[in-house]
Amino acid sequence: MSTVRNPWPRRVIGLVFAAVVFAADQGLKGWLVNGLQLREKGVIDLLPIFDFRFTQNPGVSLGLFTAGSPEGRWALVAMTAAIAGFVFIWLLREKRLFEIVALGGVLGGALGNIRDRFTLGYVVDYADLHFGEWRPFLIFNLADVAITLGVLFILARSLLSRDKPEDVAVDPAPES
C-alpha cells in the first residue's frame, strides 16, 4: 500500500524560493542603482571579464518585443504577468520538489522584471560578462539568471527523466 504524500510543504518551499529570488533581485538592483549610483556612473569595473553596466531594457529576453510606446509597455506587463500566472498555477499543481523549486526561480525572476517594467517602464539590467568586446550574452540581471536556470532545469529534467507513467495498462499478447 503506497501512501500519498502531501505536496503542499514542497509547494511552500517553491513559493518561498520565488519570494527570495524576487527580494534578492530587487535588493541588488536597488543597491546598484541607488547605493553605488550605477545609473550616474554608467559602468563599475569589477574584473577584466565582468562589469556592472547600467542598462535600461524596454523589451523582454534578448531585447525582443521592445516596448516603444506606453501601450507596448503595458502590453508587455500584461503578457509577462499572464506567463507568471501560468507558472504560479503550474507550481501549485506540481508535486516534485525539483520542478517546484525551478518554477519558483522562474516565478520570482519574472515578478522582479515585471515590477521594474511596471514601476520604471523598463527592466534594469546590469551584469556585463565580456571577453574583450565579445559578449556571449546581452547585459542581464539576477532575475534573468533565475528564469534561465529554472527553465533549463525543467527542460533537463523532462528530457532526462526515465519515469514511466504508472497508470499505463499493457495490453496482453493477442491470442492466436
CA 141 → CA 22, 53, 129, distances in Å? 12, 10, 11
Q: Which three cell numbers stand for residue 10?
A: 514542497
Calculate mean pLDDT across residues 150-174. Answer: 74
Q: Which three cell numbers stand for residue 122?
A: 523598463
Per residue in 23-33, pLDDT tens? Answer: 999 999 999 99
Confidence (pLDDT) at 163: 61
- Judged against a pLDDT cut of 80, whether residue 162 lies above it is answered with no
Confidence (pLDDT) at 173: 59
Per residue in 89-147, pLDDT tens? Answer: 999 999 999 999 999 999 999 999 999 999 999 999 999 999 988 988 889 999 999 99
Segments making up each domain of the chain, as ranges: 8-160
| 108 or 66, higher pLDDT | 108
User: Which residue is listed with cell 562589469?
Assistant: 51
| 50 or 62, higher pLDDT | 50
| 125 or 165, higher pLDDT | 125
Counting Cβ atoms within 10 Å, is residue 52 exposed (0-12), middle (13-18) or buried (19+)?
buried
Contact by Cβ (8 Å): 57, 68: no
Read off φ and ψ for residue 78, nearest 5 degrees. Answer: -65, -45
By three-state DSSP, how is residue 56 classified? Answer: strand
| Catalytically annotated residues | 125, 144
In whole numbers, what is the pLDDT of the chain averaged over residues?
A: 89
Q: Which three cell numbers stand for residue 154?
A: 525543467
* Alpha carbons 147 and 46: distance in angstroms, whole number: 24
Q: How confident is the model at residue 4 (pLDDT cuts 50, 70, 90)?
A: low
Contact by Cβ (8 Å): 17, 11: no
